[in-house]
Amino acid sequence: GSDIPESNCDVLIVGAGPAGLMSATWMARCGIKARIVDKRGTKIFSGQADGLQCRSLEIFDSFGFADRVWKESNHMIEVSCINPGPDGRIRRSDRVPDTIPGVSRFQQVVLHQGRIERFFLDHLKKYSDITVERGVLPESLDIDASKIEDNDAYPITVKLRHLTDEEAMPAQSKSSDIADGLFRSNLAADDTDDLIRKSTGNEGNAEIVHAKYMIGCDGAHSWTRRQLGYEMQGEATDYIWGVLDIIPITNFPDIRMRCAIHSANSGSVMVIPRENGLVRLYIQLSEIRPDASGRADRSKITPDVIMKAAQKTMSPYKITYEYCDWWTAYQIGQRVGTNFDAHQRVFLAGDAVHTHSPKAGQGMNVSMQDAFNLGWKIGLVVNGVSPRSILKTYQSERRRIAQDLIAFDHRFSRLFSGRPAKDVTDEAGVSMEEFKAAFVKGNQFASGLSVDYGASMLVAKPGDSAEQGDGTDVGVAGAATNGSSARKVVGKQELATNIPLGMRFQSFQVVNQAGARPYPFQYWLMSDGRFRIVLFAGNMADEKQKERVRKFCAELEKPGSVIRRYTPPDRAIDSVIEILTLHSAKRVDVELLVDFPTILHPFDEKRGWDYDKVFVDDESYHEGFGDAYKNYGVDKERGCVVVVRPDQYVGYIGELEDVEDLEAYFAGVMIKDNAGLARTKVNRNVRETP
C-alpha cells in the first residue's frame, strides 16, 4: 500500500557476517550512506569460523584493530602430523611451522567469529552512524535496467520486512543442552549489550528502500543470489564432519598444537588449540552416511556421537571433556557461483558465492577478503572519484580466487579424509608424504598472501585484461568511457623486483625521518579509500638524485598533475592520492624541511607540516635494520615510483621520469574534475598511535 515508508540509501548490505561487516566497514571509512540488515536477532557469540590468515590480520591492521585480535587470539605456531606407525598405532611423524616464517609480520591465529564481529561493530560505531539492523530481511528485489549507467540514479528497489521478536529469535535446536550459538555464561563482557535485539521501531512492518548499490553477504543459502537466479557450480561431497569446541581432558601429547591426525582405519581428526583453553576438534563421522537424496540425517548427530568418533581416531590416547562451548555438524559442499554481480549494481560476496570445507580455515578469510576487494571500489564510485568500470574488476579478481580455493579444498579434503596408505602399493590409501607436501604448499595458499590479481585497469602489468571473458577490455575501455585519453600502461616490474604487480605491498621496517621511530611500512597503508604513490626517492644525499626527485615533485605540483587533477581545490592535497616517501640516504645526513619538496610533507594551516609521510631505510636504535630497499628489490641510488591501491595491492611501477605513464594509470581509474568528492569525509593522514 502507499503507506509503506520509502527512503533512499547509497549502499544496502544484506547479511552482517564477516563479509557484510567488512563491506560496511569500507562504507564507514569512505563516508558512504549505507545500511546493513540481518535476519538474525543478534550477532553470534560463539562457534563458527575461528581461523585467521596473516592477510586478514594485515587487513584488520589497515583499519586499526588488529591489535585486539592479536591479543585475544591463540597464535598458531606449529603443526603436528600424527599418523599410524608400522604397528598401526598413531604417533607424531612430522612437525611443520604453521605460518611460513618471514612471509608477514603476523602469524595465523584463531579466535572465534563472534569476537571478530565484535571488533567490526566497534569500528563501525567509531567511524560512522552505521549500525546493524537486526531482525530485518529483504522480501523483494527489483533492478531498473534502464538506469544502471546513470550515476545519480537509484536503480535498485528492495522491500524490507522488520521481523517481530519471536520471528527474529528462532528457538535453538533441542538435540542437546548446549546451545549451538548462544551460551550466556560464555559471553564476553563487551558483548552483553548485543544480547538483546535493539528495536528498529518498525517491528512487524515493511519498508521500501531505493539503493544505488547492493551487496548480498547473506551466506551459503543467499537470498540475494537466488533472486538474481545465479547458480552455484560444484557438488556436495559424502564426507560428514562434526565440530566440537571443548576444554579437553586428555593424555594426548600434542593437544596444544594444530594437529592433523590420520588413524589407520578409524577416520581423521583435526585439532585446533584455541583461546581460553578451548580446543576445537574437527571429526570425520564415517558411520553417518548421506541418504539417497545425498543428505545426512542430522538428528542422529549429537556431541556424544562426535566425541565417540574422536576417541576412536585418537586411541590409544584418552580424551573427554566437562565443558563444551559449541558444536555442530556439516556436510561439505564445494561450489563457486557463476556470477559475482548483476549489472555491477548488485554484488555477491563471501559464502554467497563460494562454499567449501572449514578445516583449512579459509571461509571467513576469503569472505572478508571478497568484501575488502569490493568495498572501496563501490565507495570511490559512489563518491564520484572513480568510474563505474572499475567495478568489473570485482568479479575478474575474486572469482578466480574462489576457484583456486575450491581446487585447493578439493585436494586437501581428499587427502585429509582419506585413509593413510599402508605402503606404496596401497593405491586406495593416501600417502602421508603427499599429505605433508600438500600441507606445506597449502600453507602458502592458506596465508592469503599468494593472491595475485591479473592485468586490468587497476593493475598495470603485462597480459590481457582479466575481463576478456565477458568481452570487455576494461584496461582501455574503462578509461575511454571516462572521457579521457588514457592508454594501456605496463608497469616496470624490474625496478622493484620484490614488489610484484597485482600482489599486496609487503612490509619491511622503515624509520620515520622526522622522529626516528621505526615502523613496518605497511602500517602507513591505511584503509581509508586513498590511492598511494610510494616514492622510493633513492639516495637523497646525492645532488643528482635529489634533482630527479625535485623534478618529479615539480611535475606533481603543476596544475593538472595527477594530484591536482583529481583533488578538488577545497580539499586537502592528500585526500584522494597520498604520497609516501622512502629514501635510502642516512637519516642524519638529510633534513625533512630542507631536502624534501613540500608536496612530500604538505602544510596544513591548523596542523603545520605533515611529519608522517617521509621515511628512511636506515638503522633504528632499538629494533635493528629493515634493509627495505634490498628487500623490496629497489635500486638504492635511483629508486622508483610505485602506486598502491586503496586495498594495498600494487597497481603500477615506473621511473621517476615516467610521469606520463603515471598519469595514464590514474586516467584509467579516476574521473577528472569530479563533483561528488565534496561529500567524502577522508581525513588528513592521522593514524592513531597503537
Active-site residue set: 50, 274, 282, 358
d(CA 132, CA 687): 26
- Length of the chain, please? 690
Q: Is 325 in the site for ligand FAD (CB under 6 A)?
A: no
Would you tell me how many other CB atoms lie within 10 Å of the CB of residue 117?
Answer: 23
375 sits near ligand FAD (criterion: CB under 6 A): no
Rounded Cα–Cα distance for residues 580 and 569 (Å) = 21
CB closer to ligand FAD, 363 vs 387: 363
Q: Does 409 bind ligand FAD (CB under 6 A)?
A: no
Instruction: Give 109 or 534: the residue with its C-beta nearer to ligand FAD.
Output: 109
* C-beta of 273 vs 363, nearer to ligand FAD: 363
436 closest CA partner among 96, 179, 184, 120: 96
Q: Annotate 518-547 with DSSP letters as a single string.
A: EEEGGGG--SSS-EEEEEEEE-TTSHHHHH
C-beta of 137: minimal distance to ligand FAD in Å? 4
**Whole-number minimum distance, CB 222 to ligand FAD, in Å?**
7
Stretch that binds ligand FAD, among 248-256, 332-340, 363-371, 502-510 (CB under 6 A): 363-371
The CA-based angle 496-497-503, given to 5 degrees, is: 90
Interface with ligand FAD (CB under 6 A), residue from 9, 13, 20, 36: 20
- Stretch 480-509 residues interacting with ligand FAD (CB under 6 A): none
Check residue 363 for interaction with ligand FAD (CB under 6 A): yes
Scan residues 198-227 and list those touching ligand FAD (CB under 6 A): 217-219, 223
Of the candidates 10, 11, 17, 372, which one interacts with ligand FAD according to CB under 6 A?
Answer: 17
By beta-carbon proximity to ligand FAD, the closer residue of 74 and 367 is: 367
Question: What's the first-to-final CA gap in the chain, in angstroms?
Answer: 52
Residue 16 Cβ, how far from ligand FAD at the closest point, in Å? 5
CA–CA distance from 420 to each of 78, 86, 267, 414, 660 (Å)? Answer: 22, 12, 9, 11, 59
The mark string for 77-116 relative to ligand FAD (x by CB under 6 A, - otherwise) is: ------------------------------------x---
Q: What are phi and psi of 184, to 5 degrees?
A: -60, -35
By CB under 6 A, what part of segment 508-547 binds ligand FAD? none
| DSSP state at residue 600 | G
- Compute the least distance from the CB of residue 221 to ligand FAD, in Å: 6
Closest by Cα among 451, 553, 454 to 505: 451
Which class for 76: exposed (0-12), middle (13-18), buried (19 or more C-beta within 10 A)? Answer: buried
What binding mask, one character per residue, do residues 22-51 give for ligand FAD by CB under 6 A, x or -?
A: ---------------xxxx-------xxxx
Residue with cell 575474486: 398
Our CA dihedral for 53, 59, 61, 65, rounded to 10 degrees, sits at: -90
Name which position in 168, 243, 259, 628 contacts ligand FAD (CB under 6 A): 243
In whole angstroms, how close is the CB of 121 to ligand FAD at the nearest point? 12
Candidates 64, 337, 358, 475: give the one binding ligand FAD (CB under 6 A).
358
**Is residue 260 close enough to count as binding ligand FAD by CB under 6 A?**
no
Q: Is residue 351 close enough to count as binding ligand FAD by CB under 6 A?
A: yes
Q: Which of 365, 456, 506, 513 binds ligand FAD (CB under 6 A)?
A: 365
Measured distance CA(646)–CA(497) in Å, rounded: 21
Amino acid at 93: S
Least CB distance from residue 413 to ligand FAD, whole Å? 13
The answer to whether 334 contacts ligand FAD (rule: CB under 6 A) is no
At residue 483, the 3 state secondary structure works out as coil
Residues 417-476 that bind ligand FAD (CB under 6 A): none
> CB of 448: closest distance to ligand FAD in angstroms?
10
Which of these, 107, 108, 116, 109, lies nearest to 48 by C-alpha position? 116
CA atoms within 13 A on the CB side of 376: 23
Q: Which one, 186 or 365, has the nearer CB to ligand FAD?
A: 365
Task: For residue 15, state whether it binds ligand FAD (rule: CB under 6 A).
Answer: yes
Task: Using alpha carbons, list the distances in angstroms from residue 548 to 76, 301, 551, 632, 659.
Answer: 46, 70, 5, 21, 12
Applying CB under 6 A, among 69, 79, 137, 643 the residue interacting with ligand FAD is 137
- The residues binding ligand FAD (CB under 6 A) are 14-20, 37-40, 48-51, 113, 137-138, 217-219, 223, 243, 328, 330, 350-352, 358, 361-365, 367
